[in-house]
Amino acid sequence: MGDITIFGLPISLGTMIYQAIIFTVLVFILKKLVFKKIVGAMDSRKSHIENQLQLTEQYRIEAEKNLESSIEVLNQARKDAREIMKYSEKEANLMISAAKAEAREILQTAKEDAFRSRSFEHKDHIKGA
């Protein structure tokens, strides 16, 4: 077969046909042996990624539900804390009032005792004079 020149480069027509046949055989072998494995691995990976995305979506939905319930629990805890504070303030005020009343009674009793003691001493002083 003859040689041809393209752009100043000598090309052998026989070598060109031989390379085309070898390339075709190589592509056919790769298609039969390798491409099926590669496509199978890619399909497996695709299904794995899809499953992971589904799980992620489920976990996101569960997280939103948990967040909502946590917010409800937090709000209820705040409400309970406010009620406890109000009750504690009322109890503290009652204790303070009771303590003040008791202190007034003690003071009144002490004043009365002091008055009696003075008048008793005053009577003893007058009797002794």
The predicted-structure confidence for 60-82, as pLDDT tens digits, reads as follows: 999 999 999 999 999 999 999 99
Domain extent, residue 17, equals 3-128
121 or 74, higher pLDDT: 74
113 or 96, higher pLDDT: 96
Give this prediction's pTM: 0.46
Residue 125: band (very low, low, confident or very high) from pLDDT cuts 50, 70, 90: low
Tokens coding 60: 């996101």
Number of domains forming the structure of the chain: 1
Within 8 A by CB and 6+ apart from 3, the residues are: 10, 11, 12, 13
As a whole number, mean pLDDT of residues 40-62 equals 96
The CA radius of gyration of the chain, in Å to the nearest whole number, is 52
As a whole number, mean pLDDT of residues 116-128 equals 66
46 vs 39, 50, 60, 63, CA distance in Å? 10, 6, 21, 25
Task: Say what percent of the chain tops pLDDT 90.
Answer: 62
